[in-house]
Each structure stands twice: as C-alpha cells, then as structure tokens.
Amino acid sequence: DKTVSLRKDLSEMHEWITQAEEEYLERDFEYKTPDELQKAVEELKRAKEEAMQKEVKVKLITDSVNNFIAKAPPAAHEALKKELDVLITSYQRLCSRLNGKCKTLEEVWACWRELLSYLDAENKWLNEIELKLKATENIQGGAEEISESLDSLERLMRHPEDNRNQIRELAQTLTDGGILDELISEKLQKFNTRWEDLQQEAVRRQKSLEQSIQSAQETDKTLRLIQESLAVIDKQLTAYIADRVDAAQVPQESQ
C-alpha cells in the first residue's frame, strides 16, 4: 500500500531528525580543553553537512506525498499532508539550529585562537623586557652610555595597552560562556603575574639608571675640574721650565 510506504519514509525521517537533535542540540556540552572544543566544532560541521545532504531525501518524500495526494481522494491525504508539513518544519528547524550552533562554536574557536595569538605577542614583548633588564643589570660606563640604555628601556616600556585589553575582553567572553574557563584563568593569572612583576622591576631599574646617570655626571664633572686644574698647573710649570725658574723659587703647590 502506497500510504504505508509513505508513512514509513516520513517516520524514518522523523526518527533521524529526533536523533540528530538529541545528539547535537539537546545534550549539555562542556568544553574544558581545546581538544574538546575543536572536536565539538568538527562534529557539528559533519552534522550540519549530513543534515544538508538529507535535503534530497526530504524533497523526494515531499514529491512522493504530493504526487500521491494529487491522485488520492481528500479523505485519504489530509493526515498525510499534515505529517509532511510537520516533517518539513522539523527538518528546517533542525538545519537552522545546527547552522546557528555550528557558527557559534566556530566563533568560539576563533576567539580562543585569537586569545592565544594575543598572549603569544605579549609574552614575546615581556621576553624582550627580561632581556633588556638583564642587559642593564650591571651596566658600566659613563653618563652618556647609561643614558642610552635608559632611553632604550623606556622606549620598550612605551608599549600600547591594546593587546592586554583584547586579552581581557576575549577571556571574559569565553569564560562567561563557561568555555575553557579553568585553562583561561590559569593562563591569565600566569600572564598578569609576569606582566606586573616585570613592570615593577622595570620601574625600579629606570630609577636605578637615573641615579647612575646622576652619579656618573657628578664624577664626570669632578674629573673635568681636576683636568682643568691640572692643565693650569701644567701650563704654569711649563712656563717655569721655559724661564729656567728654580723649584725653590715657585709657590709650594707648584713644587
């Protein structure tokens, strides 16, 4: 009987839709690791593709039911038409929900990857600060050399806050959704602690270099005064020698 065959097709399709909803849309998902999140994205992509492929079957069922209805008396096709309408509505709703959830999870995955990218960029900058702090730890030289090191450190510290703000916002977006919250909290705590420690150390180093510059400038000034004094004495002594003046005839300091 054609009606029995059509109802069987409709029932099988309804059953598949129900299973897909239970498996991909009704379950509570928890994403505690990046692997779990990535696996969920891939599974949902496959489910979306499978649902799209079922469109051909839904169309065949629709054509078969409509062809049967066109030839059968009204009393025989009213219930069948209602079942078909329910099937089409259920199928379209399933596709819409799968597309929506797939898009959301893809955006979440992109958000996670973007967060990692910003963290990587900021940690590279912190690595540069660490190297710079080590290079200026026991710096030797005059005021000019120390001043160049201070300028170099200050330029490095003039780093925009944009990346850190992005890290904060992306992390908030993910943890608000309960996604990778423990892992993100751990990464952020480690990053923020390192950031604050290096900032404080950099400020201390800047003050230390400023003091070193001041000390070096005072030393340079003292040395210059001594050199100027020695130059005057040297000039006097040279004149005495040229005039063949005896040491006993010159002031005590010249002697």
pTM: 0.78
Neighbours of 237 (CB within 10 A): 15
| Contact yes or no for 3/80 (Cβ under 8 A) | yes
Per-residue pLDDT tens for 190-243? 999 999 999 999 999 999 999 888 888 888 888 888 998 888 888 888 888 887
Rounded CA-CA distance 178/108 in Å is: 11
Whole-number pLDDT of residue 13: 95
Per-residue pLDDT tens for 50-107? 999 999 999 999 999 999 888 877 776 788 889 999 999 999 999 999 999 999 999 9
Residue 171: Cβ-neighbour burial (10 angstroms; 0-12, 13-18, 19+):
buried
Mean of all residue pLDDT scores within the chain: 89
Q: CA nearest 170: which of 122, 120, 106, 116? A: 116
- Tell me how far CA of residue 25 lies from CA of 8, 30, 55, in angstroms: 25, 13, 19
| Contact yes or no for 68/80 (Cβ under 8 A) | yes
pLDDT band at 254 (very low <50, low <70, confident <90, very high): low
Q: Provide Rg for the chain, Cα atoms.
A: 41
| Contact yes or no for 236/254 (Cβ under 8 A) | yes
DSSP string over 97-142: HHHHHHHHHHHHHHHHHHHHHHHHHHHHHHHHHHHHHHHTTT--S-
Whole-number pLDDT of residue 247: 67
Whole-number pLDDT of residue 103: 94
| Contact yes or no for 184/118 (Cβ under 8 A) | no
Q: Give the CATH class of 2-212.
A: mainly alpha
Say yes or no to pLDDT of 139 above 90: no
